[in-house]
Amino acid sequence: MPPVAVYMLCAALAPAVSIGSILLLLDAGFHAYWPAFSDDVTFNHQIRTFATAGFSGGYYTIGELPAPASFTHFGPHGPFYPALYGLLLWPFGAPVSGPIWVHHGLMYAATLLGLVLARPNAATALSVAVVITTFWPAISMLTASMQEGLHFSIAVFGAAAVLHGRARIGATLYAAASLVRPTWAFGLITLIRKPTSVASFASLVGGVALLSVGSLLIFRFLAAPVPTGIVERAQDAFGSGGAGSQAASLAIYYAQRVLANLTFVVSPSRWQPLEGQVLVLSAVALVLAFRREADWRLRMSALGLAGMLALVMVFYDAGGYRGFRILGPFTLLALVIGVLSADSKKVAVLLIGINLLFVGSFVQFVHQNRGPVFSSDHSNFAKIADDLSERMRFDIAADPWCNTVLVDHTDFGAIVATIPPAFGLSVVANPKRMPDHPRSAFVMISSGSAETMKFPYEVVYRSGEFSVLRNLLRECKKK
């Protein structure tokens, strides 16, 4: 069989298992998908907004604070992810299940192109495909609209670029990816060749550091601010005077966080489904990299993984699951490099064996986390979405705030996905504390809360669970 045909079959393995898991475990197809959790809802909605209105949609913000860059109306995660997926989805309209189909297509394309680039033999290509397919954190995130499906695809293709020695391809990939998630600047570490001196190694690491800072600054210019974010918290502390005491307070705060995270990491009984797989395989990748016969490229990928692990331990709440969504792609990157660079099949067998130990966690995750997304009857949501589309008319010529809906709580669920795409979603900075003079033209609130609003409004839509109000203080004139 020609190598490309083998690669095509291998690349299809991960998407096929993802689709099969929903069919077999939940007895549902992708047509049943409806985002039910806040992050999944807002990413899904942003993608569909770009597919509908490009950069001309409403604002996605926290506390009605838009990005410094006026051209983008997207949220705290920046515009590039919804723009990329929205552009790919645009020819097909803006179906609710569209983003997860794009995830599967990109994973297939990344794996296929990666195998073509790396040119492994058939046995190694199959080993790589099985390692990817049994890395359950990646498979589980293909059926969500969040960014992780893209980042796992970047990891797979990036590993192939490292093995093939195509530094320009890898550098371009990670530089572009760092605009979606700044931590991808760490991926450049994997491209560093064995240095001839300490000075050359230091200069390369310095270049990575400069790119990291640059991508973070660009990201902050293009992304809506998070009032309680890591950078904002540090800025507030130093901006309030007494830099010395504020620095000491921040140091104590982060030291306490590191201690709490380390305690969590060594307490397997506290791990959520699939967190354990990321932790265990990260440790295995580091051990493999320190073998005497380990390939230099594997060692550099392990160095990047170690840096990401340290970043997660300091700045994230390990028990909050978000940190492991950020760490997971770097774990997969190191694993794929390990399989492609190994002379022995024992590495692939070891990794696949460890992955299979967590198949029960994957099944549990699918039932608990994907069950509400695929197993519920969403016909009522579809009807509400149709009703709102009749009552809320997107006006591309109006001020973006006229196409924005302010939601009265941050942990919103499936009902918010009924808002027509092209309208932005802004959430209040403090749950259940609606501003007296909102900038948004529309407000979505829980039932029974309309009487507490201090601004004039008219009811656009009302159901047993929520109401949508038109803010009469916002005059929507043409731009």
Task: Label residue 448 by pLDDT band (50, 70, 90).
Answer: low
- Assigned token pair, 83: 């723009």
134-143, 199-208, 248-257, 272-281: which is most confident: 134-143
Q: Count of domains in the chain? A: 2
* Phi-psi label, residue 157: left if phi above 0, alpha if psi -120 to 50, beta otherwise: alpha
Same domain, 415 and 450: yes
Same domain, 356 and 425: no
Query: What pTM was estimated for this model as a whole?
Result: 0.91
Q: What mean pLDDT do residues 123-128 have?
A: 94
Interval 49-78: pLDDT, tens = 999 999 999 999 998 999 999 999 999 999
Looking at per-residue pLDDT, the higher value among 211 and 66 belongs to 66
Q: Is residue 130 part of a domain?
A: yes
Same domain, 163 and 205: yes
Q: How far is CA 76 from the centre of its chain?
A: 12
Same domain, 416 and 340: no
Q: What is the per-residue pLDDT for 475?
A: 83
Distance from first CA to last CA of the chain, Å, rounded? 60
Interval 324-345: pLDDT, tens = 888 999 999 999 999 988 767 8
Examine the pLDDT at 420 and tell me if it is beyond 90.
yes
What is the C-alpha to C-alpha distance for residues 445 and 439, in angstroms, rounded to an integer? 15
Q: What is the per-residue pLDDT for 284?
A: 95
Same domain, 172 and 288: yes
Q: Is residue 120 part of a domain?
A: yes
Looking at per-residue pLDDT, the higher value among 170 and 132 belongs to 132
Same domain, 391 and 343: no
Q: Which domain holds residue 331?
A: 3-34+96-226+272-306+317-374
Least Cα distance to 107 among 86, 128, 77 occurs for: 128
Question: What percent of the chain is predicted at pLDDT more than 70?
Answer: 89
Interval 27-43: pLDDT, tens = 999 999 999 888 899 99
